[in-house]
Amino acid sequence: MHHKKPPFVAGNWKMHMTIQEAKLLAAAIIQARLELSEAEIVLIPPFTALRSVKKLAGESPVQLGAQNLFWEEQGAYTGEISAPMLKNVGCRYVVIGHSERRQYFGETDATVNKKIAGALNSKLNPIVCMGETLEEREAGKTMPRVESQIQAGLAGLTPEQFREIIIAYEPIWAIGTGKTATPGQAEEVHAFIREKLAEIYGKEAAFCAIIIYGGSVKPANSYSLFREKNIDGFLVGGASLEADSFIQIIKEAIRAYKEEQ
């Protein structure tokens, strides 16, 4: 039996939002949270807006995440931000290995692995991204690609450490393109990821793992994606930049969740 977990929905604002804009967006979502209590909601602003958003969130259950970190705790690393700094500003989560970081900033499974360790040392929960390119999908290499990202990215984690991690499956061809994976395509990979995690960490830990989908999630596809057995929530980019669409995505996931109860 597979019991559906409550929706985990994170809004990745990427390189958008001044402090003023971030405060407006966050305030609207924090306000709406009162009617969305079944969901875990995470706001992931740029570094410059973290403190302002945290101040607004206060004691609200809306959580804060960062988009990246460096693995060292401190030192001569101009331009980088460490896990203790993120913890200090009030983050609970940090995105690691987003495909845009891999594509434009040279991140690899090896750097992902070090960043996970850095995050865990400061008691941050990593949201670890993985996913295939269009060429890999068309060549039938989706599963091997994702498997190698799990093997190398999560290498060396103890089962206890693994429990702190959220996995985000984000097919690269679906990110920012308007081409969402169909619920069936997403579910197939989510089920595969859970199966691989079960082989490494055991059935129980894999069953409990939160595996979220990202790539053109919209109010119109949230319900049908969340209905799938192994999809536990979303990492939302574009549609998280407006309060209305982000809130609607959460509402649709909650609707699907309630139908499973």
From the list 40, 98, 100, 190, the catalytic residue is: 98
Interface residues for ligand PGA in 4-33 (CB under 6 A)? 12
| 2 tagged catalytic | no
Question: Which residue number places its CB atom closest to ligand PGA?
Answer: 237
From the list 136, 170, 228, 252, the catalytic residue is: 170
Smallest distance, ligand PGA to C-beta of residue 180, A: 8
Residue 214 touching ligand PGA (CB under 6 A):
yes
Cβ contact 211:173 at 8 Å:
no
Cβ contact 53:42 at 8 Å:
no
- Quick check: helix, strand or coil at residue 141? coil
Collect all residues with Cβ–Cβ distance below 8 Å to 146 and sequence separation of at least 6: 130, 131, 132, 169, 189, 192, 193, 196
Residue 233 touching ligand PGA (CB under 6 A):
no
Pick the stretch among 55-63, 86-94, 137-145, 209-217 that binds ligand PGA (CB under 6 A): 209-217
Residue 85 touching ligand PGA (CB under 6 A):
no
Residue 217 touching ligand PGA (CB under 6 A):
yes
Nearer to ligand PGA, 39 or 201 (CB): 39
| 98 tagged catalytic | yes
Residue 68 touching ligand PGA (CB under 6 A):
no
User: Residue 16 and residue 30: Cα distance in Å, rounded?
Assistant: 19
When binding is defined by CB under 6 A, the residue of 144, 159, 176, 202 that contacts ligand PGA is 176
CA atoms within 13 A on the CB side of 149: 28
Residue 238 touching ligand PGA (CB under 6 A):
yes
User: Residue 130 and residue 115: Cα distance in Å, rounded?
Assistant: 14
Nearer to ligand PGA, 170 or 201 (CB): 170
Pick the stretch among 25-33, 47-55, 189-197, 232-240 that binds ligand PGA (CB under 6 A): 232-240
Cβ contact 164:209 at 8 Å:
no
Cβ contact 210:166 at 8 Å:
yes
For 85-112, b/e burial (b = at least 16 CB within 10 A) is bbbeeebebbbbbbbbbbeeeebebebb
Residue 175 touching ligand PGA (CB under 6 A):
yes
Residue 249 touching ligand PGA (CB under 6 A):
no
When binding is defined by CB under 6 A, the residue of 43, 64, 83, 236 that contacts ligand PGA is 236
**Rounded-to-10 torsion of CA 157, 158, 161, 167:** 50
Residue 237 touching ligand PGA (CB under 6 A):
yes
Smallest distance, ligand PGA to C-beta of residue 213, A: 9
135, burial (CB in 10 Å: exposed 0-12, middle 13-18, buried 19+):
exposed
Q: Radius of gyration over alpha carbons of the chain, in Å? A: 17
Pick the stretch among 55-63, 185-193, 221-229, 234-242 that binds ligand PGA (CB under 6 A): 234-242
Catalytic residues: 98, 170
Q: Which residues bind ligand PGA (CB under 6 A)?
A: 12, 170, 175-176, 214-217, 235-239
